[in-house]
Amino acid sequence: MVIAAAVFLCACWPVRAAAELFDGSGFEAVNWNMRIADAEKAMGSRASRVRNQHTGYEYLRASPYDYLGCPYVLVLNFDKPGGPLSEIVLTYRRDANPVETELACRDGLSSLRQKLGTPISLDEGIRVWRLKTTTITVVEGRRGDVQIRYKPNDDPARRSDLTPR
């Protein structure tokens, strides 16, 4: 299961659907309460620690990370030093990919939208879903770029883990 591994389940969703949605390796033990060192251990060699030049805060980055059949750059953000995981960001930049890759990326994104259902907000390439513990935002650019953002819905003290219930 990917980081997103079932973070994003409504209580009524079947657990199996979540596993199919966020399939991947290295994220089984990741949860919203994790600090960067713990997330780094859970991800292993798939992610490296990087420092944001503007804020000075560290984050984890994995590139490329295969998600939904597409090569994304995966970033795990932490609000402040010593703070818990605050955001998961996957970014796909369309380049001179073969047509097959482009089709696979579209199919993967389409399956994500289908499993999440009707968004609470839809506006010019931006879709937002609010699930039990997570808000998911998908931004599709005009040139085929895609960004998927996962953010916890509540304050860090009340966050639950990302594993399915």
The enclosing domain of 41 has a CATH number of 3.30.1460
How far apart are alpha carbons 163 and 165 in whole angstroms? 7
- pLDDT tens digits along 40-54: 888 888 889 999 898
Residue 6, domain member (yes or no): no
Residue 2 has pLDDT above 60, yes or no: no
CB of 7 closer than 8 Å to CB of 133? yes
CB of 81 closer than 8 Å to CB of 58? yes
- pLDDT tens digits along 44-86: 888 899 998 988 899 999 888 888 888 889 999 998 888 899 9
Burial 17-41 (b: 16+ CB within 10 A, else e): ebeebbebebbebbbbbbebeebbe
Q: State residue 6's pLDDT score.
A: 33
Residue 83, domain member (yes or no): yes
Which residues span the domain enclosing 146?
A: 31-158
CB of 104 closer than 8 Å to CB of 70? yes
Residue 50, domain member (yes or no): yes
Residue 87, domain member (yes or no): yes
Residue 26, domain member (yes or no): no
Tallying the residues shown for the chain, one arrives at 165
Number of folded domains in the chain? 1
Taking the model in full, what pTM does it have?
Answer: 0.75
Q: Angle at Cα 25 formed by Cα 24 and Cα 28, nearest 5°?
A: 105
Residue 25, domain member (yes or no): no
Residue 1, domain member (yes or no): no
